[in-house]
Structure 1
Amino acid sequence: MIEEQGRVVALEAGAVWVQTIRQSTCQSCSAKAGCGQGLMQRLGVGQRHGYVRCLTDDASLQVDDDVVIGVPEDAVVKSSMLVYLLPLLALLAGAVAGEAWGELASVLLAGLAFAIALLVVRWYDRRHADDPALQPVVLRALLARSLH
């Protein structure tokens, strides 16, 4: 389970909205001096807070409670493979398949295969958007309230 701390900002039936502070890994990266993301982070560009809807069965949670939320590791791995690996493999397969008909056919088939893979990813996302196994959950409330 991948865990993150956050603060409850809104309540829903069976769920809460949690505000998390985005952590940057730029400080430990060896390429931070020449990286555009590191520069944007240092300049403070972009939103530093993320808002996540998390499932919970704890009715005692209130706004401003500090909580630990979690996402199953296997869900993150499967989703990453679907979003990144499937379109890449489709792009390569389309390029190789079109190679027999020439360079233009290879480029066109690669683009078509990539577009189809993106549509498959979108279809899968919409079909599984409400799957509780793929949703972040509140693991526990933190006992001590921090000063905000």
Structure 2
Amino acid sequence: MIEEPGRVVALDRGAVWVETRRKSTCSGCSAKSGCGQGLMDSLGVRERRGLIRALSDLHLQVGDAVIVGIREDVLLRGAVLVYLLPLIMLMAAAATAAQFSAREPVVILAGLGGFCISWLFVRMRSRHTAGDPKLQAVVLRAMLAGPASP
């Protein structure tokens, strides 16, 4: 389970809306001193907050500090669906067009067509599974003491 601290900002039936702070991975990078991204993060320019709807059966109030979690396999499958599938479809469609000795503009258009088809598939799949409780974040526990993380 991947966990993230946050603060409850709104209540919903059977769920809460949690605000989390998005973290950068720049602290672990060896090129952080020579990178513009690392400089922007250290100045706080890119500090952003995320809003997550998390299922909860706890009695929470707005302002409560909580830990939300999502299963690793859900996150991994989502990343493959959103990032890898469109890339594979783009390459497969372009390679198929190239196999038939199509001209370069046709190969490019075929690749873009494969990308668009995969984008539509991802969009339909996400709408179809949006209400599935097994694929949603959940509130794991409420933090009893101390200020909220964000």
Deviation at 1:34, TM superposition (A): 4.5
CA contact (8 A) 2:41 2:47 kept: no
Supply the AA of the counterpart residue of 2:90.
L
* 2:111 pairs with 1:104: no
Alignment-derived partner of residue 90 in structure 2: 91
- By relative contact order (CA 8 Å, sep 6+), the higher-ranking structure is 2
Q: What is the CA RMSD across the aligned residues, in angstroms?
A: 1.8
Alignment-derived partner of residue 144 in structure 1: 145
8-17 or 28-37, which deviates more: 28-37
1:17-72 Cα offsets, whole Å, 9 max, x none, are 111112211111123245443343234334522121111111x2112211110011
Structure 2 unmatched runs, 5+: none
CA contact (8 A) 1:2 1:70 kept: yes
SS at 1:101 equivalent:
coil
Deviation at 1:147, TM superposition (A): 7.0
TM normalised by structure 2 equals: 0.88
SS at 2:19 equivalent:
strand
* 2:143 pairs with 1:132: no
TM normalised by structure 1 equals: 0.90
SS at 1:61 equivalent:
coil
Count, aligned residues: 147
Alpha-carbon distance in structure 1 between the residues aligned to 2:27 and 2:12: 36
SS at 1:9 equivalent:
strand
104-113 or 25-34, which deviates more: 25-34
SS at 2:61 equivalent:
coil
- State, as a whole percentage, how many aligned pairs show the same letter: 52
Match runs of 1:1-148 below 5 Å = 1-58=1-58, 60-99=59-98, 100-146=101-147
Structure 1 unmatched runs, 5+: none
SS at 2:16 equivalent:
strand
